Structure formats: C-alpha cells, structure tokens
Structure 1
Amino acid sequence: MAAGAPAAEDEHKGGLRAALGGLTTRGRSFLAAGVAAAACAYVLGQGDLLRVGLLLAVLPLVAVAVLYRTRYRVAATRRLSPQRVPAGSEARVHLRMDNVSRLPTGLLMLQDHVPYVLGPRPRFVLDRVEAGGRREVSYRVRSDLRGRYPLGPLQLRLSDPFGMCELTRSFSAYDTLTVVPRTEPLPPVRLAGEASGYGDGRQRSLALAGEDDVIPRTYRHGDDLRRVHWRSTARYGELMVRREEQPQRSRCTVLLDTRRVAFQGAGPDSAFEWAVSGAASALVHMMERGFAVRLLTDTGSSVPGEGAEGFAGTGHESADSTGLMMDTLAVVDHSDGAGLSRAHDVLRGGNEGLLVAFFGDLDEEQAAMAARLRQRSGAAVAFVLDSGTWLTGGAVAGAVEDRLRRLRESGWTALAVPPGAALGELWQLAGRAGREQAGTGGLGGTGFSGSTESYGSSPGPRASAEGWS
C-alpha cells in the first residue's frame, strides 16, 4: 500500500492533521512548554526566554514534518503454519518485513490484529533495518473454539529518534486461520453390517471404473499373454484378455444433527460441540480405512457434494474432500429446522452403505423419522445425546431410553452418550453391541446390551505479501 503524500489538497491537509495527531505525550509537552515560554518572554520582554520557547515548540513540529515526509518502502509477508489447526492446538504465524528502499529505516514497531479469542495482539520492536534488509518475527495463536478467524491487517508504527511523534500505517491484506474440531483416534472395530473399505461388500461402489470394466476385452499390442481369457477367445473367435480388476470402495455417510431445538447449552464442553467433534473423528477414521465418505446434516446439505453421489474420491481428491468436510465442520452452527426429513430425502434407498449418525434430543416424531433413515442404509450406528443430561449431569431420562429402544428395534445400533464420554470407548461398545445384535439374528433389541450403564461412567501454508512506500 503506497504511503506517499496524496495529490489532492484536502487529502494533504487531512494527512498533515493525522501527523499532528500522532504527537506523543513528550511531543505535546514540549510544544506546550515552548508556547508558554514564548508567551512569558513576550510579556516580560526576555529575548533569551523567547529563543528557548521557540526551540521547544519547533522541535516536535520538525519531528512531525520529517516523519510525515518519510518515504520508507517496506513489504510485509505473513505465513501460517499450519493454516488449519484442531481446536486446542497452537499455530505459528511468521511475519517478514523487507526494506525494499535504498534508505535505512528508523525504529519500527509492528502490531498484528488478531481476534480476542486467539490471544493478545502481538507487538514487536524492530531496530534499524538496512537498505534491502529483512527482519523475521513470529508469534503463536491458540483457540479452544472452532471457527474461521481473520489475522490482520498488520500495522507498522514509525517513530522519530526523540520520541516526539508516532505515525501508524496499516497494510490491507489479511489471512484466515481455520480452527477445526478436535478429532479422537478411533479403534479399528468392525461395526454391525459394515463391509470393509475395499473389496467385496454388499454396499459398495466402483472407485475407478464401472461395472463394464470387469468383462474381457480385445487383445491389444503389448498386453501380457498371461491375461488371455481363453474361454472368451474361443467364443468370439479373436484373442481376448481379462481387464485389471478395479478396487471397490464401500460407502459411509456421517449424519450430524444440527437442529437448534435438539441441543441446549453452548461452549467447548456442550453436547453440540461433542457431536461436531464426534462427526469429525468418524469422518477421518472412515477415510483412513478406505471408505468413500460424505458429511450430511439435517438441512440436507451434503459435503463434498460432487462426484459419485456426493462421496469423497481417492488420492489427492480424497485429501481435498477431507479438508473441505473439516472446514465445513469448523463453521457449522445450529439450524432452524425442526426435523430430519431433508436428510431422509437425500439418502437414497439401499445403496448408501454405512450410516453413522450423531443425534441430539429426539421427540417421538423425529425418532420415527430416524427409524426410517435406517431403511435407506446398509448398517446404521447412532450416538444419541440428551442435552438436558449434559446440562445437569444427571442420569439419562426414561424418554431417551424409549427413543433408543425404538431405534434398536428398527435396526440401529444406538447408544446414549453420557456427559464427557470418550468416543473411542463408545465406538468399541458399538462394535460389541452390533455383533451381539447380529448374533440374535435380527433387528430387535433382545440381544442388545449397549445401554448407557454398560459404558461405565455415566452420572487440517498460506502467505500474503504487500508493500507500501
């Protein structure tokens, strides 16, 4: 950003007034003492006192003029490491100042604007920077609350050698730090009805090719003769070879209930924040196991939302999709919806694979809707949070147990989440409960032992650069 004198006269006067407003307490004191001495000298007729008064008054004005006419050309660069950080972890911000002018600078004071939730505003004092020189400083930021936080703009404060005047010049660029939910490593248990990430499973989709790619094709020059399919060769009268089998990926949908009416309380330890963190942990865990994953909310929005019916892809695309889902969870908030019907419409019967849901308070109507969600997936695991229990720390209400029983009868592996529960232990419990449920041969709850009491303790570098002269 250029910091030279404006061409317009009114802008010039405004800049000069701003420079006079930059007088420090010392500069204002000198100016006041000089005016007072000059007035006394005029009344008393003392020439020497008048010269002293003029010297005291002129000194801060000269400092203002010199500082106002300063033509430092300074470029600033900010870099975040990392740009995406889990809640409760620290990120480091690196600042670099380059003096691109032919003159050395004086004393520079830097101040970067950061939101209050990330900590106090960092301030640095840089000594004289030689022509073409560079200075680098860094500071740390940390937040227990997920979200997207702007960093900047950077302010540079100039001061004269006598400390009479200080001028502040601001850059315009800023960066964004994304604080994603905390994730918890989950044990590699096999949930009821779950197919492996790659290979044969009832609910699966081709990751790299369609069904037609598994049939033999005509021989091409350079094909391995060991791949010749002799039965098809005899049938078609020409040399046929087998196609390479393509890996197949099972699907997993992570459903997050964000209804405002379903959650009470706020803050890092609230039921809603636990549900968001649990959804993030499930997404990362299933992606690591080779599943094609998508994030779905009660509003019907699906992330990543592109590709094969909205599921994440493979390779670099998978990494980008994971980052996109985590960025979505970083800013997800309560919705004003009252039901799960939109999520029910997004799920398309019979080919959605594993469904992992994080529900808030369910009334009778929404419990029935959740039961119908199970019919549109292969296997289904539900973690139900009673936000009233999280607020009071009491026992799970009988109404919640009724909702859990209804979900289990419809085929869900349903667990109540007590306050402060560890998702890893609940995940293991879901695996054991699902195996017991499958062992009873049905969708009923007769063999299910995964109630709350069995749990045991129920009471993701970017840099921006700019310069001014």
Structure 2
Amino acid sequence: MAAGQPGAADDGEDRGGLRAALSGLTTRGRSFLAAGVAAAVCAYVLGQGDLLRVGLLLAVLPLVSVAVLHRTRYRVAGSRRLSPSRVTAGSEARVHLRMDNVSRVPTGLLMLQDRVPYVLGPRPRFVLDRVEAGGIREVSYKVRSDLRGRYPLGPLQLRLSDPFGMCELTRSFSAYDTLIVIPRTEPLPTLRLAGEASGYGDGRQRSLALAGEDDVIPRGYRHGDDLRRVHWRSTARYGELMVRREEQPQRARCTVLLDTRRSAYQGAGPDSAFEWAVSGAASAMVHMLERGFAVRLLTDTGDSVPGAGPDGFAGSTQESADSAGLMLDTLAVIGQSDGEGLSPAYDVLRGGNEGLLIAFFGDIDEEQAAVAARMRRRSGAAVAFVLDSGDWGHGGDGPGSAGTEERLRPLREAGWIAVPVPPRTDLARLWQQAGQLRAGTQSAGSGGPTGFSGGWS
C-alpha cells in the first residue's frame, strides 16, 4: 500500500498458511467446531445418523469460513493520503484512508487500524460494514503533535471477518507514509537599518559594469543573452561571440547560526529553551528568504543544510520556497549535539565576509563568548539572541537572571547586537528590540567598537 496509490496486502506475511488462518477462528467459530466434533462423536457412539449430519454441518461451517477468507484475503486494496504532509507544530493534519474491494464477492465486517506514534494520539480504529464487490469505503482521522519531528504513519492493519463471524484474519499492508512536523514560525517586522541593504531591494550591491569601448570587460555568449549586447570588437579578437557585462546584483547573504550544544540548554518539551531557539532560527530563516537574502543554516558543529548549494547558501528568487522547505525539514529533526564549543562554526565563518549573521545561543561562558566575538569580525552585521537556561528553568526568577547582562557584555563589546531572551517571549518583540538597540548605537555615534557596516530587514 502506497500513499495515494492502491496496494495489496503483503503475501510474505502469510507464513503459516492454513494454520495461521485456523488461528483466526473466533470464539463462535471454535464453539461451532467443538460442538460439531462432539456431535459427531456422540452420533458414532449412539449410532444416530441424523446427529452425525448435524455435527458435520456444525464442524464444516467454520472450516469453510476459514477456507474462504484464506483464499480471498488479498483482494482488498488500500491507500492513504495526508493533507497536508508537512505541518507546523501544534497544527492538525488529516489522514484519509480508502479501502477498495477489488474482488467479485462482498466482504464481511472489516476493522481498520492505522499505526501512529503515541505523540500523534491514540491509534485510530474504524469498523466498516459489508463492502460490496467493487465497492469503496473512505474514512479519515486527525493527527496533531506539539513536538516537531518526522513521524511514520502505518502500516495499515486490516481485520477481515466472514459473514457468520466464524473467523477473523488480520493482515498488514506493506507501505507507510511520513508526516513532517516543522517548528513553529512567526512573522517578523521589517526593520530597516543603516548600512548595506538587503536582498534585491533599494540600495543593493552591484558589480561594476564598465561601459567604455576601451575598458569594457566582456564575457562569453550564453544562451538567452540579448544579441544587442554583443561586443563585436572582442568577438573578432577572441573568435567567439562575446557580450558586454552589465550591472549584476550581488545577492545579500545571511547566515543563521543555531547553537545545539546539549550543555547549553536545560529541560525538554515544546516549551523548553532549545525548542524556542529552533523555532526562532526557523522564523529568522524564513523571514530573510522572503526579504531576498541568500540564507545558510549553520549549527555549532559546523554543519549546514545538505543540498543548499556549493557554498552552503540557498534561496534564489525562484527557489526560495523550496529552500525554506528544505531548511525547515532539517530543523524538524535537528537534535542537540554533544559538542562542547562553537569553534567548528567559527572555522566555517572565518573563510571570509559572510554578510549578516543571526545567532541563537544557549548558555555561553567566557571562552565561548570569546569565540563568538571572533565570529563578529567575519560578518557584515551580527545579531545574537541569547537564552539563559537558568532563567528558563526557573521562569525568569532563577539565579541565571542576574548574570545575563554580564554574559552579553563581551558580545556587545565585539560589535554584536546582543539581546537576552526571557522565557516564552515572542521573537517578533525581541526582533523589534534588536532594531531599537541598533538605532541607539547609531545615535550614540558610529565607528566605535559596536558599530558595523551591513544591514538586515
């Protein structure tokens, strides 16, 4: 059985043959069989032919039911369809089941049971009345999870029963589907900060285009280039079609850094600090893609999203939705690492200026704060949202609250816009607060240790 496509029960599961079918006799079937055998024995002892015929009838009826079910058990097909197949945490998805009786005889009573993880709720069970030959039955149920992840649905189990209720056979379909529960995302306000503009909007960076006849920089002709851009002098010189380079927008880059160190977070569950950080990274990533940035998702281990591109960045104008889906699928299953520091992520970032850097940190000590400070030197702008596990573990009244500002000081001195994250605070509010901090830095004067060139939206 495949999602959205009909399938049949797996023949390989019938290892016991008729023995397995006989084991499916119900209490009624076993009672009829026992009564038939007893009547036959009594008829033989007493020499009653009529009683023997009654005994044979009672014994043969459940055996015939077993034989019929054993012969026709593969004639039922099923399919499953998820709507939708990707949902955010806390949202519901509906699972549609369809059963087709592809045999020429009607079925008896059918009971469907779909296997689902306990996180999604109890196992759904449905009882279907007699399905006529060629008939179709459709049922559906809802699933919901507050925890992100990838959850298998299936395989579907089908229990067949004969019209007399003598025998029940349980068969499983072979295929299953996967429900992807992605982190919650929230819309973020558009903030305009001085410096380098974002995406393809106003003020975007452009590569220089030299338009003079003597200092033009041509390139080879590519399929689809306007023939009016052909530079004939260079064409004659190189012996192939050459075209003038025009102003090419340079796509602004953004790296979203997620701290996944197990030692940096305390607690578990949908309201834990780590889950907030994952949700925040997802929200920032989607927002920056919508603003036209090329976005890279990076973790403390130095890993980025597979398939995002040769440089790790993804999200062209045409593929931003696909890029967002790929990164959200990665965040749906991301877990906490056993790493002890942020050095692997710094090794990835120190290769050059990577544009805007948005980081979601857990607990950071002086050593890790120094590593984060060095990251700032390799970015055009840097914004950090720092979670304190002490605050989250005690509802904001724990011992970690007093030391939060002390932990942020090295980051701010290095040029980060560092924002503490109180328990269960909306990212949109903190996003706005980061913009206000930047505005305050600008009003105090640029060029100091906290100034930076770059922008974010």
- Normalised by the shorter chain, which TM-score bucket? 0.7 to 0.9
- The answer on 1:28 being equivalent to 2:20 is no
Question: What does residue range 65-464 of structure 1 map to in structure 2 within 5 Å?
Answer: 65-70=67-72, 72-191=74-193, 193=195, 195-199=197-201, 244-304=246-306, 306-307=308-309, 309-348=311-350, 350-395=352-397, 396-440=400-444, 441-444=446-449
Counterpart of 1:109 in 2: which secondary structure?
strand
Give the deviation of 1:70 after TM superposition: 1.8
- Is the Cα contact below 8 Å between 1:304 and 1:321 reproduced in 2? no
Quickly say closer, same or farther: Cα 1:330–1:228, change in 2 above 3 A.
closer
Counterpart of 2:72 in 1: which secondary structure?
coil
Deviation string 1:154-197 (CA, Å, 9 cap, x unpaired) is 12221100111111121111111110000011111135756221
Deviation string 1:262-297 (CA, Å, 9 cap, x unpaired) is 011100010000000000000011111111101000
Quickly say closer, same or farther: Cα 1:56–1:4, change in 2 above 3 A.
farther
Give the deviation of 1:77 after TM superposition: 2.1
Give the fraction of aligned pairs with identical amino acids, expressed as a percent: 77
Q: What is the root-mean-square deviation of aligned Cα atoms in Å?
A: 3.6
- Equivalenced residue count is 432
Distance 1:63 1:172 in 2: 25
Distance 2:349 2:191 in 1: 25
Unaligned runs of 5+ in 2: 1-6, 235-241, 452-457
In the superposition, the TM-score normalised over structure 1's length comes to: 0.81
Distance 2:40 2:246 in 1: 97
Quickly say closer, same or farther: Cα 1:73–1:353, change in 2 above 3 A.
same
Counterpart of 1:198 in 2: which secondary structure?
coil
Distance 1:427 1:161 in 2: 65
- Is the Cα contact below 8 Å between 1:256 and 1:357 reproduced in 2? yes
Match of 1:64 among 54, 63, 66: 66
- Is the Cα contact below 8 Å between 1:339 and 1:366 reproduced in 2? yes
Counterpart of 1:69 in 2: which secondary structure?
helix
* Aligned match of 1:455: none
Give the deviation of 1:72 after TM superposition: 4.8
Q: Which amino acid aligns with 2:305?
A: V
Give the deviation of 1:88 after TM superposition: 0.5
In the superposition, the TM-score normalised over structure 2's length comes to: 0.83
Which structure carries more relative contact order (alpha carbon 8 Å, separation 6+)?
Answer: 1
Deviation string 1:340-367 (CA, Å, 9 cap, x unpaired) is 0010011135521111100000011101
Give the deviation of 1:27 after TM superposition: 1.9
Deviation string 1:109-136 (CA, Å, 9 cap, x unpaired) is 2222111111122222334444444333
- Is the Cα contact below 8 Å between 2:8 and 2:76 reproduced in 1? no
- Is the Cα contact below 8 Å between 1:34 and 1:56 reproduced in 2? yes
Counterpart of 1:139 in 2: which secondary structure?
strand
Quickly say closer, same or farther: Cα 1:70–1:350, change in 2 above 3 A.
closer
Deviation string 1:419-466 (CA, Å, 9 cap, x unpaired) is 1111110000011111111222255579xxxxxxxxxxxxxxxxxxxx
- Is the Cα contact below 8 Å between 2:77 and 2:100 reproduced in 1? yes
Which deviates more from structure 2 when the two are superposed, residues 406-415 or residues 245-254? 245-254
Counterpart of 1:187 in 2: which secondary structure?
coil
Quickly say closer, same or farther: Cα 1:346–1:392, change in 2 above 3 A.
same
- Is the Cα contact below 8 Å between 1:349 and 1:377 reproduced in 2? no
Distance 2:418 2:71 in 1: 71
Quickly say closer, same or farther: Cα 1:113–1:381, change in 2 above 3 A.
same
Give the deviation of 1:255 after TM superposition: 0.3
Quickly say closer, same or farther: Cα 1:259–1:51, change in 2 above 3 A.
same
Quickly say closer, same or farther: Cα 1:46–1:222, change in 2 above 3 A.
closer
Distance 2:413 2:440 in 1: 14
Q: Which amino acid aligns with 1:268?
A: P
Which deviates more from structure 2 when the two are superposed, residues 64-73 or residues 165-174? 64-73
Q: Which amino acid aligns with 1:173?
A: A
Give the deviation of 1:69 after TM superposition: 1.8
Q: Which amino acid aligns with 2:98?
A: R
Deviation string 1:344-393 (CA, Å, 9 cap, x unpaired) is 01113552111110000001110111111111101111011111211111
- Is the Cα contact below 8 Å between 2:107 and 2:162 reproduced in 1? no
- Is the Cα contact below 8 Å between 2:8 and 2:74 reproduced in 1? no
Which deviates more from structure 2 when the two are superposed, residues 358-367 or residues 123-132? 123-132
Deviation string 1:69-127 (CA, Å, 9 cap, x unpaired) is 22653332222121111001111122223333444434332222111111122222334
- Is the Cα contact below 8 Å between 1:304 and 1:311 reproduced in 2? no
Deviation string 1:226-277 (CA, Å, 9 cap, x unpaired) is x899xx9xxxxxxx99655433321110000000110111000100000000
Counterpart of 1:278 in 2: which secondary structure?
helix
